[in-house]
Amino acid sequence: MDDTRIELLRRVCKESHTGFAPCGAVQTRNPKEAFARIATDLIDLNAYIDRQIAFERNHCGHILCGDTRSSCAIIGLALRLFKPSVVYEIGRYRGWSTSQMAFALKENFEETGDKTKFISIDPHHGAPGGPGWKGDQCGGDNEWNISRSNLIRAGIDDFVTPVKAFSGEYVSEVEDAIDFIFVDGDHTYEAAKADVALYGEKMAPGGICVLHDVWAEKDYSFENYGPSKVYGEAGPEWEKVGFTWDVGILRRK
């Protein structure tokens, strides 16, 4: 069954691609268009994306610019397909991706009755290494309070436990094997590589690791901007599933 689900994620990545820009970044069609090209008995893709978009429009528009034509479409799909028991997120900011991940987990709970352990980690101490980010944009108690308020406002705060900590320090607190992790913290090559390595050691076999801001299998254009390079260099302990909509997907062997 897992192989069937992985193949569906591969298919989504393939059907979403329309080509590559001169800089090397993948170009994509939006999720509704990509999903319409895929037939599967695992999940009603059209109904799924309609619910995800409706949730985002109703609850997430005030948090951060963007929409489900990006990373949360495939992150939520993976969560719905695999129904993981233990989920982690590194990098929360104001809770945009957190809310949509929790929404997918809430749907899992309504379907199965099993509640997922979901830990979201962020120090709220700035975001070095990402182009366009200022060092104080994600920092301080104010951002912590805003992120907490946004999760409550979205009605999914019962499905996530926010933690204010640096990922490298919190990893020693991880007790249960991780089934799914979204890595969206410090985007420098060194930090992204460390997050994948440290938390990868805590993952269950077959666990899914999703890296944010992966547009190619190399560090192709932005200085000191590492998730694409980390994805491209993934070692033999990882299986590359694919990349699309700003994320790269790895499976732990």
Amino acid residing at 151: L
Question: Is residue 126 very low, low, confident or very high in pLDDT (cuts 50, 70, 90)?
Answer: low
- Structural domains in the chain (count): 1
- Tokens for 26, please give them: 């993948």
pLDDT tens readout for residues 128-152: 444 434 444 555 667 788 888 889 9
Q: Check pLDDT > 80 for residue 248.
A: yes
Q: Check pLDDT > 70 for residue 127.
A: no
Q: What's the mean pLDDT when you consider all of the chain?
A: 86
Q: Which residue has the higher pLDDT, 196 or 213?
A: 196
Q: Residue 153's domain spans which residues?
A: 2-252
CA distance 103 to 18: 29
- pTM for the model stands at 0.90
Question: Is residue 225 very low, low, confident or very high in pLDDT (cuts 50, 70, 90)?
Answer: low
What does the pLDDT read at residue 120? 97
User: CATH no. for residue 132?
Assistant: 3.40.50.150
pLDDT tens readout for residues 169-186: 999 999 999 999 999 998
| Chain centroid to CA 96 | 11
Q: Measured between alpha carbons, how far apart are the two ends of the chain, in Å?
A: 16
pLDDT tens readout for residues 64-85: 444 445 788 899 999 999 999 9
Work out the average pLDDT over 242-248.
91
Question: Which DSSP string corresponds to the chain?
Answer: -HHHHHHHHHHHHHHHEEEE-TTS-EEE--HHHHHHT---SS--HHHHHHHHHHHHHHHTTTTSS--SSSHHHHHHHHHHHH--SEEEEE--TTTHHHHHHHHHHHHHHHHHSPPPEEEEE---S--TT-TT--TTTT-HHHHHHHHHHHHHHTT-GGG-EEE-S-HHHHGGG--SPEEEEEE-S--SHHHHHHHHHHHHTTEEEEEEEEEES--SSS--SSTT--HHHHHHT--TTEEEEEEETTEEEEEE-
